[in-house]
């Protein structure tokens, strides 16, 4: 048995290198990359929780749940400046992110409905508390970074690279059971 490990190698959602996204009826029709990309960024803007994967300085894998905010096609996370996330991410600058997108509305209160997901890899910069690069963004990061933490929290800026790998974004709930319809590889721009 052969195991394929890379998305390109396994042809996961690549669909000949073009972005696909299910249409309103779940028919799998092709969409222009800009429409699919806008849909993914909108879903990221509406969500607020993600899991960030990174490596320790000795190469050990780690992941952490984070609350984030997006601004200008970048993701921002506030962390303790002396915490593991700040130290480990600053050492390497490479991260993998999976954001969960709530699905089902009121129905999710009655039935277990899995969230849609958006995954990507990217580069990350950890800005120390009071950093001049972050100061202009503090007002927009208000919900992420309350006033009392603005001078004490480090801010991680994550810039996505490559492509988004999505599952269930823009797909009707019943169609999420079909991986061929529910997954997509969407360009960043």
- The full set of domain ranges for the chain reads 32-102+115-187
The CATH code belonging to domain 32-102+115-187 is 2.30.110.10
Q: What is the pLDDT of residue 56?
A: 92
- Put simply, whether the predicted model's pTM sits higher than 0.85 gets the answer no
pLDDT at 52: 98
pLDDT at residue 1, as a whole number: 33
Tens digits of pLDDT across the chain (189 residues):
333 333 333 333 333 333 444 333 344 544 455 789 999 999 999 999 999 999 999 999 999 999 999 998 999 999 999 999 999 999 999 999 999 998 877 776 787 778 899 999 999 999 999 899 888 888 888 878 778 888 889 999 999 999 999 999 988 888 888 889 999 999 988
pLDDT number for residue 184: 93
Sign of the dihedral defined by the CA atoms of residues 115, 62, 4, 185, in that order: positive
Residue-wise pLDDT for 6-44, tens only, equals 333 333 333 333 344 433 334 454 445 578 999 999 999
DSSP codes, the chain: -----SHHHHT-S-GGGS-B---TTS---B--HHHHHHHHHHHHHH--EEEEEEE-TTS-EEEEEEEEEEETTEEEEEE-TTSHHHHHHHHH-EEEEEEEE--SGGGGGTS--PPEEEEEEEEEEEEPTT-TTTGGGTTTTTTTS-GGGTTT-EEEEEEEEEEEEEESTT--GGGGG-HHHHEEEEE--
CA distances from 37 to 34, 40, 121, 188 (A): 5, 5, 16, 6
pLDDT at 11: 34
């Amino acid at each position: 048995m052969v195991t394929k490990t890379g998305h390109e190698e396994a042809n996961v959602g690549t669909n000949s290198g073009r972005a696909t996204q299910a249409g309103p009826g779940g028919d799998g029709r092709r969409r222009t990359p800009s429409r699919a990309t806008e849909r993914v960024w909108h879903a990221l803007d509406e969500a607020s929780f993600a899991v960030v994967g990174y490596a320790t300085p000795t190469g050990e894998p780690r992941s952490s749940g984070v609350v984030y905010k997006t601004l200008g096609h970048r993701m921002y996370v506030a962390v303790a400046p002396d915490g593991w996330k700040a130290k480990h991410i600053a050492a390497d600058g490479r991260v993998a992110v999976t954001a969960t997108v709530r699905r089902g509305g009121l129905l999710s209160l009655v039935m277990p409905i899995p969230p849609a997901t958006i995954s990507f890899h990217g580069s990350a910069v950890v800005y120390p508390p009071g950093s001049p690069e972050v100061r202009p963004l503090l007002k927009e990061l208000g919900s992420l970074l309350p006033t009392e933490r603005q001078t004490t929290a480090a801010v991680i800026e994550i810039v996505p690279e490559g492509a988004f790998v999505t599952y269930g974004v823009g797909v009707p709930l019943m169609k999420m059971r079909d991986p061929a319809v529910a997954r997509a590889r969407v360009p960043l721009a």
